[in-house]
Amino acid sequence: MISTNFDPIMFQAILPEILLVVLAGLALTLDLILPSERKASLGWIVAGGSLLILVLSMTLARPANQGELLWGGMIRFDWLSFIFEMVFIFSAGITSLFAMGYEAFSRRGEFYVLILVSTIGMCAMASAADLVMLYLAIETTSIPLYVLAGFIVRDNKSTESGFKYLLFGAMTSAVMLYGLSLLYGFSGTTNLYGLAAGVQNGHIPIVTLVGSLLLVLVGFGFKISAVPFHFWAPDVYDGAPTPVAGFLSTASKAAGFAVLVRVLLVAFPAIPRDWGAIAAALSVATMTLGNLLALTQRNIKRLLAYSSIAHAGYALIGVVAISQLGVSSVIYYLIAYLLTNLSAFGVVAAFGRITGSDEVASYDGLSRRSPGLALVMLIAFLSLAGMPPLGGFITKFFVFAAAVNSNLIWLAVIGVLNSIVGLYYYLTVLKHVYLYRSEDEEKPLPLPRSYVIAFAVLTIGIVLVGTIFAPWFNWATNAAMAIF
Amino acid sequence: MQFPVLSVIVFTPLVAGLLILLLPAERKTEVRAAALAAATIALFLSVWVYFSYDVAAGGYQFVEKIPWLPALGISYHVGVDGMNAPLVLLTGIVMFTGVLISWKIDDRPREFFAFLFVLATGVFGVFVTLDLFMLFFFYEIAVFPMYLLISIWGWKETREYAAMKLTLYLFIGSVIALVGALAMYFTSGMGTFDMLELQKASFSVGFQRFWFPFVFFGFAVLGGIFPFHNWSPDGHVAAPTAVSMFHAGVLMKLGAFAALRVGIMLLPEGAKFHMGWIILLALVNVVYGAFIASVQTDFKYVIGFSSVSHMGLVMMGFATLSKDGLIGSGVQMFSHGVMTALFFAVVGMVYDQAHTREIPRLGGVRKVMPLVAIAFIIGGLVSMGMPGFSGFIAEFPIFMGVWNTHPWIAIVAAVSIVITASYIIRVIGRVFFGAIPVEFEGHFSDVTVLDKVALVFLSAILVAIGIFPILMVPMVQSGVNSILHLLGGA
């Protein structure tokens, strides 16, 4: 399967990454040569470039139905990696649109470059088929994100956020690296598919195997902000610039799921009971704790942080199901979640950049102050709560369906009970937006054009994902078949 | 291809709601006119569907089926039979009158009508869908706008509490039913959510008995079944008038109907096993609801609890699993829907003038609003089950069915008729007759023409069904026959 000779497919496999490097280089060059008053258009260039990359990749670099190991077994080119790559590039484009509303970085080329480099890392995470590649990809993703979280150096909260993220990230990635080295030591291979054979033939004692897997899961758990590795998320989201927080909570989390799904299902299909139990425990703890803690939040970014922790828990249900439907449901879930949460954080950015406040109470009267923004927020929050005809409903439905299909009815029940708790706090926020009055109702809340475009794309996307299921589901199923 | 009339009915409100949102916020008259136009179209089409349904042929008609997600057997599949055609008509009626009654709303009418219409789409969708997945899809669409409608435009004192309580109750019910529905889907092994197919799945008796309570109660929460009825009077009272009309008139039927369609029709063995004790719960609804209604001093709470009582009769008819009982329930869903919409409309009109709903403080409303008083009296007679009004056509078969299966329950339930009569007559006497209290002297004025149109329309329907039961009973009967077929009886 491992092809070493030149083959166009080798370039197809990394075409998105190549184009991202080109775009990053372009952004950097333009940053140098453009006069500073014209640098505001950098965001348009990056967003337009991302769109172009999406179109080019989808026309030129679609994988075959049968996945293939390429570049010496370092990466695997299949639908799973491809779909995740498209998702990451999309969210990078949207994030640059949101970044354009901020004085602090809309004219800073390095901001966009960091976003793009991080996206390259995520793409590599989605396709990594080798432990070394995996670790490199995770670090390529993380390091720019540490910088981005602390990007506003004059703001103590932002620098604190970046530093905290760095410390947590470094710690967990060290633990993960230890786990990876143990796996290599016991199996003698760094390739995931080779590892699977090693696990299969039973030469490795089960205790060591599960032990090393646990260490690796620490790193993945950090990426997807699963309990008990979630402590960083509220503080980092709160302090980081809002568009960065949105990027962290969506693309970065989806990347974590991409590696989680691939590593667990490709390398450890022989011991599903063991890691299934661990993942089930993670899932229950993550959604329950995330939802309960979100109940008491007064700051909308912290609330969204806990809500995004809870959503990681829901998505984990699909992983625990260990079935093709389960994996499809995870991917579909992440697509809808990504659109929804980007939109939610976009609203927070649009509101915070004018008012300077992220308190839930400051959203009083928003529906009178800016009916359009309030409607976008309504749609995003109801989608998070899992209401039709929005993306959140159908994807929750599939995740729970996958659980019931795998005879995990108890897990589905915990999931639905959690979604009720979720509904409560999402509605509480909407109550501020639609019900309460405030003195600021007459003050304007202008939306830059880039925000309007981003909101239009995201809102239409949320509705499309929630109503026209077939294409998305078939995509997700294609991706799932790359593993099963 | 046949004109997709059901889809047009389902999506007219939604499209209208979106168009309304695009209008500028300050053009309130245009917003109202657009809303009325959409409601008129929906009403007209639902009347057309109702009267062109071929009762002799029976079965599902106006069927449309579009595969939506073939991989999982989800399809957009709609159709009407004798059971849901009256409910579609009911929704059209309540939507139309609800728009007329809401003409006065001045706070963000654009958003109000948009949310109300999203709700209407959900309701129409649940009534006509034949796909289990789509049923949940539309059901949730029908539930969440309630929260916004009640909490934004509701009665200031209790709206936040009542809206949240209602939403959480209904959401809990629906997600529990959802787990049951998923269990059905995977256990059947047929890979389809089509309810007509799932009816043929031979689930084991044990499976049916285990899952029936989850599915039935999950939906029956919205039907207001005891002991999960608690959200409903609070919700009715807190909601603005049109939403109370929708809520008591249509949404509670949604719960009862879904409990019938998913619970009884897909799990008939479970229904046979559990109905013995569910009928007792329904009895509590009927009698206890009536008692509580009779001791309320708030006009709107009286009507709210009377809904609990009357919905108990619907559940009771279901629980007999007999022909008479089911026919009665089918008609009762329609009759109570129109009646309670009328009641809430009246309550809203009185409140708008008096700014109080305390029965002891009111009086003499008849003198300034004669038509309102007449409408309320007609509603009251329906509520008491007086012959010549639709309530009789509905309640008489229910009592017959109950008498045949559980005579003692019929006797106890009959007490409720007496209690109902007592509180209705008390309200009529206190609120509409007597002298106008001094504090309201000169403050009362008659209702608008639009209000009158709504009242006359609703009253006329109640009388028409009462005098000409042939307009509805044969149709419901044809629907009931297919349910009895599933239950294995004749």
Q: How far apart are CA B334 and CA B475, in angstroms?
A: 12
For chain B, say whether A367 makes contact (Cβ under 8 Å). yes
Report the gap between the CA of A77 and the closest CA in chain B (Å): 25
For chain B, say whether A227 makes contact (Cβ under 8 Å). no
pLDDT for res A4:
55
**Is residue A165 scored above 60 in pLDDT?**
yes
For chain A, say whether B179 makes contact (Cβ under 8 Å). yes
Q: Which amino acid is at A195?
A: L
Mean pLDDT of chain A: 90
pLDDT for res A234:
93
A473–B69 C-beta distance less than 8 A: yes
Q: Per-residue confidence at A218, pLDDT binned at 50, 70, 90?
A: very high
**B179: nearest CB among A393, A409, A474:** A409
Q: Per-residue confidence at A9, pLDDT binned at 50, 70, 90?
A: confident
Closest to A149 (Cα-Cα) out of A344, A301, A340, A315: A301
CB pairs under 8 A between A and B: 84
Residues of B in contact with A432 (CB under 8 A): none
Residues of A in contact with B172 (CB under 8 A): 420
A401–B182 C-beta distance less than 8 A: yes
For residues A216-241, b (16+ Cβ closer than 10 Å) or e, as one string? bbbbbbbbbbbbebbebbbbbbbbbb
Contact status, residue A453 vs residue A94, Cβ threshold 8 Å:
no
Report the gap between the CA of A443 and the closest CA in chain B (Å): 16
Average the pLDDT over A189-215 and give the result.
Answer: 85
Question: Which tokens is B162 given?
Answer: 């009542």
**A470: nearest CB among B68, B141, B168:** B68
Q: How far apart are CA B480 and CA B11, in angstroms?
A: 28
Residues of B in contact with A430 (CB under 8 A): 148
ipTM above 0.85, yes or no: yes
A423–B168 C-beta distance less than 8 A: yes
Q: Per-residue confidence at A442, pLDDT binned at 50, 70, 90?
A: confident
Report the gap between the CA of B22 and the closest CA in chain A (Å): 10
**Is residue A1 scored above 50 in pLDDT?**
no
B108–A368 C-beta distance less than 8 A: yes
On the CB side of B434, CA atoms within 13 Å amount to: 15
Residue by residue, pLDDT tens for chain B (490 residues) are: 578 889 999 999 999 998 888 888 778 888 888 899 999 999 999 999 999 888 888 888 898 999 888 888 899 999 998 888 999 999 999 999 999 888 888 888 888 889 999 999 999 999 999 999 999 999 989 888 888 888 888 888 888 888 888 888 888 888 889 889 999 998 888 888 998 888 888 888 899 999 999 999 999 988 888 888 888 888 888 888 888 888 888 988 999 999 999 999 999 889 889 988 899 999 998 999 999 998 888 888 998 899 899 999 999 999 988 889 999 999 999 999 999 999 999 988 888 888 888 888 888 788 888 888 899 999 999 988 888 888 888 989 999 999 988 889 899 888 888 899 999 998 888 888 888 777 777 777 778 888 888 899 999 999 998 899 888 888 898 889 888 888 875 4
pLDDT for res B490:
41
Tens-digit pLDDT profile for residues A449-477: 999 999 999 999 999 999 888 888 888 88
pLDDT for res A301:
93
For chain B, say whether A469 makes contact (Cβ under 8 Å). yes
For residues A116-135, b (16+ Cβ closer than 10 Å) or e, as one string? bbbbbbbbbbbbbbbbebbb
Contact status, residue A23 vs residue A50, Cβ threshold 8 Å:
yes
A420–B172 C-beta distance less than 8 A: yes
Question: Which tokens is B69 given?
Answer: 């997600």
B68–A371 C-beta distance less than 8 A: no
User: Can you give chain B as a three-state secondary structure string?
Assistant: CCCCHHHHHHHHHHHHHHHHHHCCCCCHHHHHHHHHHHHHHHHHHHHHHHHHCCCCCCCCEEEEEEEEEHHHCEEEEEEECCCCHHHHHHHHHHHHHHHHHHHHCCCCHHHHHHHHHHHHHHHHHHHHECEHHHHHHHHHHHHHHHHHHHHHHCCCCCHHHHHHHHHHHHHHHHHHHHHHHHHHHHHHCCCCCEHHHHCCCCCCHHHHHHHHHHHHHHHHCCCCCCCCCCHHHHHHHHCCHHHHHHHHHHHHHHHHHHHHHHHHHHCHHHHHHHHHHHHHHHHHHHHHHHHHHHHCCEHHHHHHHHHHHHHHHHHHHHHHCCHHHHHHHHHHHHHHHHHHHHHHHHHHHHHHHHCCCEHHHCCCHHHHCHHHHHHHHHHHHHHHCCCCCHHHHHHHHHHHHHHHHCHHHHHHHHHHHHHHHHHHHHHHHHHHCCCCCHHHCCCCCCCCHHHHHHHHHHHHHHHHHHHCHHHCHHHHHHHHHHHHHHCCCC
Report the gap between the CA of B452 and the closest CA in chain A (Å): 31
State what percent of residues in chain A have pLDDT above 90. 58
B21–A430 C-beta distance less than 8 A: no
